[in-house]
């Protein structure tokens, strides 16, 4: 498995990637079909519009209250988990998180880690790091396992292998799982995966997982899943390491209830997932299974930058349901890989600039028609279109300009020429006499309008003024009455 190359899709080549993606009819068809399916399933879960809106408002208020108290809640979580016997670690960067996790595994001379689904570990490229340090890391979520065998990255945060066909998976399993026959029967394929991975749970030294909600009040890590691989990773090996972002903490156990009610319905259109796994302690004396050591790694990775700004802080309300991608006309046309970021789609466009800086991600906030679908379905009411506009503004801001909370890569899309044009326009537009003179000249000299008009003509035909300005036309019309 470790011999496969890791395909990276840097966000800088977003334009080229998306161009390739829209020209791949197979990819477009499979994403279109999958997104239509998920949208219909979600809609069926919310027959009562008022209940949905009330639940979204509740989810939003819960998340906002938790974020408002974030530093206190993190300390409380740490204290409560520590009292329960769970060790808490803090990492500012992906490198720090990886080093902590590897250190823990190395301390018990571990060679094999089984992993439950964790997007945060994708952020840190943990698998890659562990392999480089002699620890094999096996993804156990079926979708993640498929993607790992293929040497790829997930193309959706909930359904990682959504871009793969049965036939491709049949070949992958046949080539990679010892003695696996070639079959395109989905039940048989799942059984092949199940058996291969059960062998891994038996041998694994450590289980790694993500966290959906970390409850400060009780010191509890909550994991949401259907497959049972998350439970395997957190039950069978003798050590469990959970990794999550600092924003995942909630204050009270009751906060989890509305969030868990709306999460699976928004994500996959299920009333509930098969398992909701609440972990509060390592194995206690007398208990016969569960890990004897449990660790939680809290990762910042740019989240504190989003936190510093009142508007952008709302980005951190996200519960990673994926509904915004399922409903996004851009995502459903280009798929998840084109973005080149761990989180694709609308949530990826608003969170990645904090993780990677605007220099690498300046195109992402522009890849939107601002249709608003993402904001309308978001279960915690993140105003995603507003965030996109704000990030466009920050990318276009003069890098030298002093602002209270500068973003990494401020001014990545700044063009001095464009800035001059706008400042000229501001002067003209705010002085009536000047504006009248300008519009008179622009209409009378319309044949001399330049054909190249900076950013405008990159994708559009040049603008040519009309023969007369609107003001003139209206005046004529009024005097002829």
Partner 1 sequence: MSARDRILGKLRAAAPAQTPVEPDVAGYYARHTLQHALPARLAHFSHMMRAVHTEVIYTRADSWPQALAARAAQAGWRHVLLAPNTAHGARAAQALQGLATPPQLKSYDRPIDDWKAELFHDVDAAFTTTRAGIAETGTLIVWPDADEPRAMSLVPPVHIALFDASRLYENFYQAVSTEGWANGLPTNSLLISGPSKTADIQQTLAYGAHGPRELIVLAIVPDDIDLAELEAAQ
Which three-class secondary structure state does DSSP give residue 113? strand
Give the integer Cα–Cα distance in Å for 305 and 358: 12
How far, in whole angstroms, is CA 15 from its chain's centroid?
19
Residue number, 68 or 132, with CB nearest to ligand SF4: 68
φ, ψ dihedrals at 412, nearest 5° = -60, -30
Q: What is the DSSP string of 260-277?
A: HHHHHHHHTS-SS-SEEE
In the complex, minimum distance from the CB of residue 76 to partner 1, in angstroms, rounded to a whole number: 12
Q: What is the dihedral of CA 8, 14, 20, 23, to 10 degrees?
A: 140
- Nearest CB to ligand SF4, comparing residues 231 and 265: 265
Q: Of 206 and 373, which has the nearer Cβ to ligand SF4?
A: 373
Closest CA to 346 of 385, 381, 314: 385
* Residue 286 binding partner per list partner 1, ligand SF4, none, with a CB distance cut-off of 5 to 8 Å that depends on partner kind: partner 1
Closest distance between ligand SF4 and the C-beta of residue 347, in Å? 4
Residue 70 interacting with ligand SF4 (CB under 6 A): no
Interface stretch with ligand SF4, choices 100-108, 353-361, 376-384, 442-450 (CB under 6 A)? 376-384
Residue for token digits 């890391």?
A: 137
Tell me, residue by residue from 389 to 408, as one string, x for binding to ligand SF4 by CB under 6 A and - for no binding: --------------------
Residue owning tokens 């639940």: 55
Question: Considering only residues 246, 323, 330, 395, which one is a binding residue for ligand SF4 as defined by CB under 6 A?
Answer: 323
Q: Which lies closer to partner 1 via its Cβ, residue 137 or residue 224?
A: 224
CB 121 within 8 A of CB 127: yes
Interaction of residue 265 with ligand SF4, rule CB under 6 A: no
Helix H or strand E segment including 394: helix 384-396
Give the closest residue to 177 by CA, choosing from 148, 204, 134. Answer: 148
Per rule CB under 6 A, is residue 382 in the interface with ligand SF4?
Answer: yes
Q: Least distance from C-beta 338 to partner 1, angstroms?
A: 21
Does position 221 interact with ligand SF4 (CB under 6 A)? The reply is no
Taking the complex as a whole, how short is the minimal distance between the CB of residue 117 and ligand SF4, in angstroms?
Answer: 14
With CB under 6 A as the contact rule, the residue among 143, 210, 269, 322 that binds ligand SF4 is 322
Of the candidates 279, 261, 227, 248, the one whose C-alpha atom is nearest the C-alpha of residue 81 is: 279
Is the Cβ–Cβ distance between 321 and 379 less than 8 Å?
yes
Alpha carbons 245 and 318: distance in angstroms, whole number: 11
Cβ proximity to ligand SF4: between 87 and 333 the closer is 333
Interface residue with ligand SF4 among 77, 294, 299, 378 (CB under 6 A) is 378
Q: Tell me if 335 contacts ligand SF4 by CB under 6 A.
A: no
Compare residues 298 and 380 and give the one whose CB is closer to ligand SF4: 380
Show contacts with ligand SF4 in window 162-181 (CB under 6 A). Answer: none
* Residue 451 near residue 460 (C-beta atoms within 8 A): no
Residue 320's binding partner out of partner 1, ligand SF4, none, with CB under 5 to 8 Å set by partner kind? ligand SF4
User: Least distance (Å) from partner 1 to the CB of residue 238?
Assistant: 7
Q: Which of 21, 159, 236, 324 binds ligand SF4 (CB under 6 A)?
A: 324
Coil, helix or strand at residue 23: coil
Q: Return d(Cα 42, Cα 39) in angstroms, integer.
A: 5
Largest CA distance in the chain: 97
Residues interacting with ligand SF4, by CB under 6 A?
318-324, 346-347, 377-380, 382
């Amino acid at each position: 498995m470790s011999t496969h190359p890791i395909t990276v899709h840097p966000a800088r080549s977003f334009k080229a990637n998306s161009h390739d993606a829209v020209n791949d009819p197979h990819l477009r068809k499979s994403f279109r079909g999958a997104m239509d399916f998920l949208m219909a399933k979600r809609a069926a879960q919310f027959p009562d519009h008022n209940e949905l809106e009330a639940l979204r408002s509740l989810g939003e208020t819960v998340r906002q209250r938790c974020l408002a108290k974030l530093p206190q809640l993190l300390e409380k979580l740490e204290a409560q988990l520590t009292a329960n016997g769970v060790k808490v670690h803090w990492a500012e960067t992906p490198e720090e998180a990886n080093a902590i996790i590897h250190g823990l595994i190395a301390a018990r001379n571990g060679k094999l880690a089984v992993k439950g689904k964790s997007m945060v570990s994708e952020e840190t490229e943990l698998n890659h790091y562990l392999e480089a340090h002699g620890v094999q890391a096996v993804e156990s979520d079926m979708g993640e396992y498929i993607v790992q065998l293929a040497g790829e990255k997930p193309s959706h945060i909930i359904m990682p292998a959504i871009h793969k066909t049965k036939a491709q998976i049949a070949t992958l399993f046949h080539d990679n799982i010892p003695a696996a026959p070639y079959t395109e029967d989905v039940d048989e394929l799942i059984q092949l995966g199940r058996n291969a991975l059960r062998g891994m749970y038996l041998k694994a030294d450590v289980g790694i997982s993500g966290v959906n909600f970390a409850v400060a009040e009780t010191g509890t890590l909550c994991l949401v899943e259907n497959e049972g691989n998350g439970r395997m990773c957190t039950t069978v090996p003798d050590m469990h390491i959970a990794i999550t972002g600092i924003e995942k903490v909630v204050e009270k156990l009751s906060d989890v209830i509305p969030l868990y009610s709306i999460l699976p319905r928004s994500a996959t259109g299920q009333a509930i997932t098969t398992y909701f796994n609440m972990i509060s302690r390592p194995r206690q004396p007398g208990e016969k299974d569960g890990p004897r050591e449990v660790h939680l790694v809290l990762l910042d990775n740019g989240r504190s930058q989003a936190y510093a700004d009142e508007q952008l802080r709302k980005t951190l309300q996200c519960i990673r349901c994926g509904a915004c991608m399922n409903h996004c006309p851009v995502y459903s046309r280009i798929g998840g890989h084109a973005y080149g970021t761990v989180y694709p789609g609308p949530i990826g466009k608003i969170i990645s600039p904090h993780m990677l800086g605007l220099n690498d991600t300046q195109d992402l906030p522009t890849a939107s028609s601002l249709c608003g679908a993402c904001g309308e379905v978001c279960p915690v009411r993140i105003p995603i279109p507003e965030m996109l506009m704000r990030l466009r503004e920050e990318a276009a801001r003069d890098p030298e300009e002093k602002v209270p909370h500068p973003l990494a890569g401020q001014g990545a899309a700044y063009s001095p020429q464009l800035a001059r044009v706008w400042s000229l326009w501001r002067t003209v537009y705010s002085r009536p006499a000047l504006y009248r003179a300008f519009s008179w000249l622009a209409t009378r000299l319309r044949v001399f309008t330049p054909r190249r008009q900076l950013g405008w003509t990159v994708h559009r035909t040049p603008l040519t003024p009309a023969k007369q300005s609107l003001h003139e036309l209206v005046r004529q019309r009024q005097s002829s009455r």
